[in-house]
Structure 1
Amino acid sequence: MNRLRQMSLFAHIVESGSITAAADGLGLSKSVVSQHLKLLETELGISLLKRTTRRQTLTQAGQAFYAECKKLNDLADFAWQQALESQQEPQGKIVITSSDALMSTLVAPAIGSLMKCYPKLRPELISSDQPLNLMEKQIDLAIRVGASSENALMQRRIGEFRDVLCGTQSVIDNEKENAGYLANQWQPATIIHHFTHCIKIEEKHNYHANITCRADSFHTCLGLIESGAGVGIVPDYIFRQKPQLAALFPDHQLASNPVYALHPYPRQPPINVVTCINAIEKQLSILTTPSCQALKQSEAK
């Protein structure tokens, strides 16, 4: 590293016209710059500059050496500028993962809109209900429900939603609590849901169920629910888009699910990551509204 530093300083000395001017331009002392030049000439075993009190000129060996040192500085300046420009506008590859449900309803729409604003952005989206190792899979950003216990990851809470236990209106009217339960792959073997009244928060209700069918993806589970095969949980922002579905307990609600953005960048995350997190956070705020809002409004009246 000292050798590269000495070569860079030598190029600055030549271009500045003197050791003093080079030191001023680099914010170093004259003695430091002079010492590096002396060490460089000693290690090379040649004189690079001929110096008088008024001027300096390159030796023949110095001219050839300077040409190569200048290339070194030019390359460093180019790399520096490229790095700065990469943080000015989202561009290039970014790998994002989330669960199946969040990918299709939240992440993909947000990133799709972002691509229209930044056509140089090249997202790669990975849908998985199993939390993937970001470092092993070279993933830049993960959107997950709940905080992570992985200390190596940076995480930011970007919003929340509530699940709604629901089924078709026919199932709700005719089977109610005896309806079969349709579970997602990630749900536990024993189903217990804890409900709180939307208005009377001291009023609690617990729901127990045995799983009659388990699906390996959210959309498969949703398809089963929509077919009338039983009841299951659906995010509130999707439930509101499904008029054929009805809540099993319309005056009660489940606890909220916090949504987090996780990334492996301990210091300043790339602009691609920051921009995508902001877009997904905005999309989540658009999709979600407080559960039981309509009920609260009717109670207020």
Structure 2
Amino acid sequence: MDTITGIKTIIAVVETGSFTAAGDRLGLSKALVSKYVGIVEQDLGVRLFNRSTRRISITEAGQSYYASVVPVIESYSEMLDNLSGQGAVANGKLRVSAPVSFGESNLAPLLPELMRRYPNLSIELVLSDKTIDLLEEGVDLAIRIGSVSDSNLIARQITSYPLILCASNDYIERFGTPTSVMELEKHATVIDSNFKIGRHWPIVSPDGEALTANVSSRIAVNNPRAVKEVVLAGGGVGLIPEIVVQDDIAAGKLVQVMSNYQTFEFGLFAIYPHRKFVAQKVKTFVEFLFEKFS
């Protein structure tokens, strides 16, 4: 084991919280991670982690070591980029997390183009609607739709997406088209339970008045694509991000209702750890997102 491998192993254990997770990130077995940690501790003459049968915890010496070596590894990685002539070319494996609907419908179809542009880059796309810990999960970059509150992360807003009211042709034929908030409240609606607004939809009238539609619903799901499918099947009026339904509206499968009213917007963000050195593969991917979505 060389010094750099030992340092990377300690960093992975600290950031993931376990030998098993660190091994998954590094492509090593749990036993080998434990061995490398032991070698580093022996060389330093200090214990970096307290171990029990169920968990590990970092010691004060471990915290000090981690804070000292992270800048070293960042500088080392930057130096390798520069010396290898790869400073301006994305290479290596990039692990990206994205929401399920956005990842499936909007991001995945673009990856072959990215691979053609950068033959030395590989992508692992991890789809989840849960907010993950980037360091713990070993994720280089996450795409989030909504808001970002973690000050330890860099958040680059790529674009914003309005939410629109829409329904299927079948539903409109049976129940008519709502043209005001009062009428909307009488219609069946489909709720996206990811939204904190619940059944209280904020709507701005054509003359700029802020209103709230207190809608009724018997169906709630926690995925915007699933909301769209329910709406397509005639389940009611949905409040759905435009990017999710734009193709269906263009194809005439869905109809936007109350188009002279506005709702609210969600930001599309690229999130990555707040560190001095940002790998070229991350920079390249963010630039690609701006090109395709901004």
Same fold (TM over 0.5): yes
Instruction: Name the SS for the 1:135 alignment partner.
Output: helix
Q: Is the alpha carbon distance of 1:247 and 1:136 closer, same or farther for their aligned partners in structure 2, counting shifts above 3 Å?
A: same
1:11 is matched with none
Q: How does 1:216-235 map to 2 (within 5 A)?
A: 216-235=222-241
Please, which of 255, 270, 273 is the counterpart of residue 264 of structure 1?
Answer: 273
1:107 is matched with 107
Q: Is the alpha carbon distance of 1:281 and 1:80 closer, same or farther for their aligned partners in structure 2, counting shifts above 3 Å?
A: closer
Q: Distance in 2 between matches of 1:147 and 1:266?
A: 20
Please, which of 194, 213, 219 is the counterpart of residue 219 of structure 2?
Answer: 213
Q: Is the alpha carbon distance of 1:126 and 1:179 closer, same or farther for their aligned partners in structure 2, counting shifts above 3 Å?
A: farther
Q: Is the alpha carbon distance of 1:215 and 1:265 closer, same or farther for their aligned partners in structure 2, counting shifts above 3 Å?
A: same
Q: How does 1:169-248 map to 2 (within 5 A)?
A: 169-175=169-175, 176=178, 177=184, 178-188=186-196, 190-197=198-205, 200-242=206-248, 243-248=252-257
Q: Deviations over 1:109-141 (max 9, x none)?
A: 343321121122111111111111111111111
The amino acid of 1:179's aligned partner reads H
2:156 is matched with 156
Q: Deviations over 1:223-275 (max 9, x none)?
A: 11111112222222333311211123121121222221110142131111111
Instruction: Name the TM-score, length of structure 2 as normaliser.
Output: 0.63
1:39 is matched with none
Q: Deviations over 1:163-209 (max 9, x none)?
A: 11211023234334333322334134732222224xx4424442222
Matching of residue 279 in structure 1 with residue 288 in structure 2: yes
2:92 is matched with 92
Q: Distance in 2 between matches of 1:230 and 1:84?
A: 59
Q: Is the alpha carbon distance of 1:84 and 1:166 closer, same or farther for their aligned partners in structure 2, counting shifts above 3 Å?
A: farther
Q: What is the Cα-based RMSD across aligned positions, in Å?
A: 2.6
Instruction: Name the SS for the 2:134 alignment partner.
Output: coil
Please, which of 253, 277, 281 is the counterpart of residue 262 of structure 2?
Answer: 253
Return the offset for 1:216. Answer: 4.1
Q: Distance in 2 between matches of 1:216 and 1:256?
A: 18
Larger radius of gyration: 1
Which sections of structure 1, spanning at least 5 residues, go unmatched?
Answer: 1-76, 286-301
Instruction: Name the TM-score, length of structure 1 as normaliser.
Output: 0.61
Deviates further, 200-209 or 239-248: 200-209
Confirm or deny: 8 A CA contact 1:171 1:179 kept in the other structure.
Answer: no
1:130 is matched with 130
The amino acid of 2:167's aligned partner reads G
1:121 is matched with 121
The amino acid of 1:190's aligned partner reads G
Aligned residues: 207
